[in-house]
Chain A
């Protein structure tokens, strides 16, 4: 059996292991080093329990089940007891919403800054229209996802599965999903075409337009890439919001709408 604690501990202590509630082995460790040790378990069916002892306080951190038949180990399994409870989904969704709003602010200001620059100087590869399209795309997708999450209550632990499925199967659910999907595809196309053009395009800009564009104007290529990356990051956060709300949908090649839980409808 291998016992390994990934986090180094703040205080020194002992790891104690029992087998069928009989003391088997114990191992002392120092502060700052993650405890890790292995040993052989008895050749008989039983349950090994691992306790962490720090300052006389004993916590059950894991257990292992071993099944022996005719002197052969036929199966073994481990179980870990999480020591800290994980943040609730509801709270995590709140965090994600804050991250999404912050990302939206950045995308919006980046787009505005770029448009102001484009009013003054012409960039051979970027148009103000392209910048507006990206901003619009991200805004539409954001509002579609926000509406979907709002409809299912932003708290999957309280949401009834039947209600969730009914919403996703409804006309409104499908329309919102479709709008988010189309916007995402549009954004992906913009990113891909820019990334393909970028290497060639930048080289051309630098080679053939050096006098018409100052270095300061050439910074726009980088700003535009930053805008696209930030928009993509925001799109991933939208997906995280949907997943946190237990919403998952996809479209077939012919445009047929599918969602998780569809069969139960």
Chain B
């Protein structure tokens, strides 16, 4: 498998991952959109979905740039190539990269929020309500049935978070398969490996 084939394979894997994330999110939303107590965790899941979509869009802009860069002899050279350095000084690219880092940070925060699982608190709230109204048999049955639903949903929410993380890792891997290594340094300055190497050379 040559480099090009490898990159294509990664791209198709990435598309599969994004499709699975979308499906998982849509199914959670469809299941609970009419359940009032679920509104809290659905909002959280929506926040993650919005951030993930922005992240994906910004990443694809970045990937298009990476694909357009002239192929250098070794991938390490890509970061040091004049074409890449010129691209990094282009405001469009800078914007795409900032968007990518921003959206990724937002998605990470959404995931941290979702580690405290509100699907279970919704089930607990419903159970408390059913216990407070022992004569309401209908409510009791509803709470019983829903407790399994919420149980399954909390796992799916964790699955959604892990899928989002897997997508973020894959994006990093794909940029590196093009030889690019970019990160956000202190004060959110954009940094890249070639940039660093140039700096070190200047310093010595």
Contacts and interface: CB of A to CB of B under 8 A. Distances in A.
Nearest to B171: A222
Contact of A230 (B36, B155, B166, B177): B166
B156 A229 contact: no
A67 to B, nearest CB: 12
A95 B75 contact: no
B13 A106 contact: yes
Contacts, number: 147
Majority SS at the chain A contact face? helix
Given A6-B39, A99-B20, A243-B148, A216 B159 contact: no
Contact of A87 (B16, B24, B31, B74): B31
Contacts of A113: 6, 9-10, 13
B19 A102 contact: yes
B169 to A, nearest CB: 4
Contact of A82 (B35, B129, B162): B35
Interface stretch (B55-63, B100-108, B132-140): B132-140
A106 B31 contact: no
B30 A87 contact: yes
A64 to B, nearest CB: 12
B165 A229 contact: yes
Contacts of A33: none
B44 interface: no
Nearest to A191: B162
Contacts of A233: 158-160, 162-163, 166
Contacts of A227: 166
B176 A225 contact: no
Given A99-B27, A215-B79, A222-B173, A106 B20 contact: yes
Nearest to A237: B159
B34 interface: yes
Interface residues of A, number: 52
Contacts of B151: 243, 248
B99 interface: no
B155 A236 contact: yes
Interface string A227-251: 1011011101101110110101000
A215 B76 contact: yes
Nearest to B31: A87
A57 interface: no
Contacts of B165: 229
A78 B53 CA distance: 38
Interface string A151-169: 0000010000000000000
A7 B35 CA distance: 11
A83 interface: yes
B159 A240 contact: yes
Interface string B50-90: 00000000000000000000000011101100000000000
A105 interface: yes
Interface in A82-107: 82-87, 89, 92, 95-96, 98-99, 102-103, 105-106
Contact of A223 (B23, B78, B169): B169
B136 A79 contact: yes
Given A87-B31, A216-B177, 13 more contacts: A77-B132, A84-B34, A92-B149, A103-B20, A106-B16, A106-B20, A113-B13, A214-B74, A215-B181, A219-B172, A233-B160, A236-B159, A248-B151
19 contacts: A84-B34, A86-B31, A87-B30, A89-B149, A99-B159, A106-B13, A106-B16, A106-B17, A109-B13, A116-B1, A216-B75, A218-B181, A223-B169, A225-B166, A236-B159, A236-B162, A237-B155, A237-B159, A244-B149
